[in-house]
Amino acid sequence: MQAVILVGGEGTRLRPLTSTVPKPVVPLVDRPFITYMLEWLHANGVEDVIMSCGFLATAVRNVLGDGSALGLRLRFVEEPEPRGTAGALKFAESMLQERFLMLNGDVLTDIDLRAQMDQHERTGARGTLALVPVEDPTAYGLVRLQEDRAVKEFVEKPASDEIDTNMISAGAYVLERDVVELIPPNRNVSIEREIWPQLVGGGLYGYPSHSYWLDIGTPDRYLQATFDIMEGHVHTEVGEHLGSSYRLIDEEADVQGRVVPPAVIERGCQIAADATVGSLAVLAQDSSVGPGTTIERSVVLNGAEIGRNCTLRDCIVSAGCRVGSHTHITGGAVLGEGVTVGANNVITRGIRIFPSVTLPDGAIKF
């Protein structure tokens, strides 16, 4: 089976994490984000993957290589300019098989793709959309089905009295190649707004699933995905490695303080005496934590240095950051790559500090 993954966006909502790193390879727990999707596809029988790239495509290719390490054939196409969800698919047309999967590259999920493909085969569909329930479908739009699961209609941004289902498109589609013939070439085309309506009543079906699904588009959702992976709410290889202890500490980490599971401590990390890391904390490779510091519900990326007597809670600290002593980073704050924060700062309320900024001692106290 073949899959096309759309990863052409700039990830603007996830900045400053994506200011210096393309969204598909932003680290999530212990591996690039897109690796979760590739592992999921491989587990569902996919062998050939086409990555439809745009922003920083070369960096994505350099990180992922040819896919052989994941048991896949991985190829890349790069749009000359943004062409929308359908336009990106059209650009890859010459590489497509007669039947393939199309996927939104922003999603963490464990939907049973084999079952979705089986339904597609049974119904003789031209397209089958995976559907998942959400608490607030108004942010996504509804997909209404007939009794045989054929798509009846789409309702964008429904009013409260229009909500009769909570099923939305999960961004995972099984398609026949003839669907691509509906897409006009060489322009920006939305598959959701321009192609699906043409297929209603003509072979478009929905596959309802109650599997885990999360659109990782913001720092809050990035943290939620991290926690869900560590707690095993979504099936991943990382969860298997964490096992029943919910703790993964590399043997080359120097841990003098306390680690509270779930926690991931990577190679070369240093945790000083009287420091506490966890629960729900990730320390990426070569990061360090000073004495008396507490880190929980947070991600600290490669080579970051956290000083003594700090508190990090519900935050993201990017690679190469330096955090001075007695500084508190909480409330969804995000530090971009290479940020330096002096001592005695309070950074909270979702503040985003962009890469390479330096804040002196006591510069911010909310």
Q: What is the pTM of this model?
A: 0.92
Q: Would the pLDDT of 56 be above 70?
A: no
3-state secondary structure of 305: strand
Selection from 79-83, 133-137, 313-317 with the highest mean pLDDT:
313-317
pLDDT at 337 over 90: yes
Q: What integer pLDDT is reported at residue 85 of this predicted model? A: 87
Report the CATH fold assignment for 246-359.
Answer: UDP N-Acetylglucosamine Acyltransferase; domain 1 (2.160.10)
Name, in order, each residue with C-beta under 8 angstroms of 81's C-beta and a sequence gap of 6 or more: none
% of residues, the chain, pLDDT over 90: 69
Confirm if 301 and 283 have CB atoms less than 8 A apart.
Answer: no
| Amino acid identity for residue 330 in this structure | T
The Cα–Cα gap between 79 and 72 comes to: 22
- Please tell me the least confidently modeled range out of 58-72, 141-155, 226-240: 58-72
- Quick one: pLDDT band at residue 55, thresholds 50, 70, 90? low
- For the chain, the domains span 2-218, 246-359
Give the containing element (helix H, strand E) for 38. Answer: helix 33-43
**In the prediction, which pLDDT does 353 show?**
95
Q: What value does the mean pLDDT take over residues 243-269?
A: 95
Residue 365 has what pLDDT?
Answer: 81
C-alpha distance across the termini of the chain, in Å: 53
Angle at 28 between CA 115 and CA 287, to 5 degrees: 155
pLDDT tens digits for range 9-40: 777 888 998 888 888 888 999 899 999 999 99
Instruction: Identify the band that residue 96 occupies on the pLDDT scale cut at 50, 70 and 90.
Output: very high
Residues sharing a CB contact under 8 Å with residue 69, sequence separation 6 or more, in sequence order:
none
Mean pLDDT of 248-268: 96
Segment 69-72 long-range contacts (CB within 8 Å, at least 24 positions apart): 70/35, 70/38, 70/39, 70/42, 71/42, 71/47, 72/38, 72/41, 72/42, 72/46, 72/47, 72/48
Q: Model confidence over 204-254: pLDDT tens digits?
A: 999 999 999 999 989 999 999 999 999 999 999 898 888 889 999 999 999
Q: Contact at 8 Å (CB) between 345 and 361?
A: yes
In the numeric block, which tokens belong to residue 252? 């080359």
Average pLDDT over residues 141-145: 87
Q: Output the average pLDDT for the chain.
A: 91
Going by pLDDT thresholds of 50, 70 and 90, the confidence category of residue 43 is: very high
Q: Quick one: DSSP state of residue 232?
A: T
Asked whether residue 159 carries a pLDDT value surpassing 90, the answer given is no
pLDDT exceeds 80 at position 257? yes
Task: Determine the average pLDDT of the residues in 142-169.
Answer: 83
Mean predicted confidence (pLDDT) in 101-126:
95
Distance CA 333, CA 316 (A): 7
Q: Is the pLDDT of residue 57 over 70?
A: no
- CATH fold match for the domains 2-218 and 246-359: no
168: tokens are 């939305």
* 74, amino acid identity: L
Higher-confidence residue: 137 or 283?
A: 283
Which of 18-32, 187-201, 257-271, 329-343 comes out lowest in average pLDDT?
18-32
- Say if residues 176 and 127 touch (Cβ distance below 8 Å): yes
Average pLDDT over residues 339-348: 96
User: Quick check: 158 pLDDT over 70?
Assistant: no
Look-up of token digits 């202890």:
245
Beta bridge partners of 357: none
Question: Angle at Cα 280 formed by Cα 226 and Cα 331, nearest 5°?
Answer: 80
pLDDT of residue 187: 87
| Superfamily of structural domain 2-218 | Spore Coat Polysaccharide Biosynthesis Protein SpsA; Chain A (3.90.550.10)
Mean pLDDT within 322-336: 97
